Structure 1
Amino acid sequence: MGKLSNSLLSGSYGRTGRLVVANVGGTEILRHRPRKQGQTTNPRQLLVQQRMREAYSFLTSYKHFATKYFGRKIGMKSPYNMAMANLLNAFELDYTLMQVVPVYGDISFARGSRTQAIATGLTSAAANSFTLQWMDNSGGNPVLQTDRAQILYAAEGENTSVFMENVATRLEGTFTAPLTPDWSGKTVHVWLAFLADDDSAVSNSIYAGSVVVS
């Protein structure tokens, strides 16, 4: 049951069943009312919801960066939406063990046409730190040499990440990230991208690998 009214002045409005007629800015639209969520949620649905929470938590550290530098808006797809979609795809669902399993090599935090980084080393020689090294693949171009390194890292099995901006240049080829003592013994996954010195362009981020923190 429902009621649908029609007026010469206000137009049509009302609802019948799940169909709703509304007047928005002088334009009549027809839409569906959302279904009421059921009282019971099965384990698979709970796992899907868990993946969404974990993906949002992981993205929080670089959300502002991805909003600007994860590709370009395409139709209804914004850079932020595409960054979230990347995480949801990388956070695979294991319905046998009922777990969310991150595929770290599939995670990206930047997408663009700038010359991509080439990582050459990831070590943890000093306590509570890791050192990332990369090639100066600028070809001697001073514009590329001043590109700034953007680094994302996360501890294996944890749902949060840390994002460090503008930590070194492409020419410098190395950066040591200081960590707090509670990172000691953890496996840390690291990603790298370059941003132009004038913020005009970004490279695709790369997965640089993982290292156990000393």
Structure 2
Amino acid sequence: MGKLYDSLLSGTSGRTGRIVVANVYGNEITRTRPRKRNAQPTAKQLLIQNRMKRCAEFMQSYKGYACRHFGNRSGMRSCYNLAMTNLMENFKIDYAASSITPDYPALAFSKGGLLAAIPLSIKLSGDKLDITWQDNSAGNVDRENDLAQILLAAEGENFTFFIENAAIRSEATYSAIVPINFQEKTLHVWMAFRSNDEQTVSSSQYIGTTA
């Protein structure tokens, strides 16, 4: 049964039959619940479902970060929605080959207007990954203390490894210990910066790959 709180202007929630009423971020919406499907999904539908599953797994390590720091809410579209859209658009489906291939350089985990990172190099030695970047703070104390955020993905793995607040911008280097299930695989690496008060972020930059 649907419920009414004070008035329609104050918000409604609940459902009547297949009609669902909800208040989402201050917006009242009405939608129809989907019917249960009895038919088996087609090959195309399975690929689309698998892409959604892979994108959710890819984001799992940095989901909390993305929910705060991937652009700005736009109407009904949350930061999480925006981050997921980026993944869905860049996990490319080849229907003819029945395959899903991430376009790694186009993937992002952070989106904002803070001074962007300028990555310089990545070097893998055993289980240690050395990452260097340019200190482009130009003497600005706030920018010197921006915190590096680093994301690792191993080719062939759906999951990622996220390192928050790894180092400050002025240090210009960081050494990460690679998780054992990522070792001896091609790694894809991204980085971004977040202000020391954790209020603003830069857009993430794809650094490249190493094996």
Q: Deviations over 1:21-57 (max 9, x none)?
A: x8989xxx97544233241211111000000000000
CA gap 1:69/1:40 in 2 versus in 1, 3 angstroms: same
Size of the alignment, in residue pairs? 192
Specify the alignment match of 1:41 in structure 2: 41
Specify the alignment match of 1:179 in structure 2: 178
SS in 2 for 1:60: helix
> Where do 5+ consecutive residues of structure 1 fail to align?
1-12
Separation of aligned partners in 2, 1:74 and 1:181: 39
Q: Deviations over 1:151-189 (max 9, x none)?
A: 000101210000001111110001111124443321000
Alignment of 1:31-110 (within 5 A): 32-110=32-110
Separation of aligned partners in 2, 1:176 and 1:131: 4
> Where do 5+ consecutive residues of structure 2 fail to align?
1-14, 24-28
Runs of 4+ in 1 over 4 A off after TM superposition: 22-25
Does 2:200 correspond to 1:201?
Answer: yes
Specify the alignment match of 1:191 in structure 2: 190
SS in 2 for 1:171: helix
Q: Which of the pair has more CA radius of gyration?
A: 1
CA gap 1:43/1:135 in 2 versus in 1, 3 angstroms: same
Separation of aligned partners in 2, 1:84 and 1:111: 12
Separation of aligned partners in 1, 2:30 and 2:113: 41
SS in 1 for 2:208: strand
| Post-superposition offset of 1:103 | 0.4
Specify the alignment match of 2:132 in structure 1: 133
Q: Report if aligned partners of 2:123, 2:129 keep a CA contact under 8 Å in 1.
A: yes
The alignment-based identity, stated in percent, is: 40
Does 2:209 correspond to 1:210?
Answer: yes
What is the one-letter code of the residue matched to 1:35?
Answer: R
TM-score if structure 1 supplies the norm length? 0.83
The CA RMSD over aligned residues, in Å, is 2.2
TM-score if structure 2 supplies the norm length? 0.84
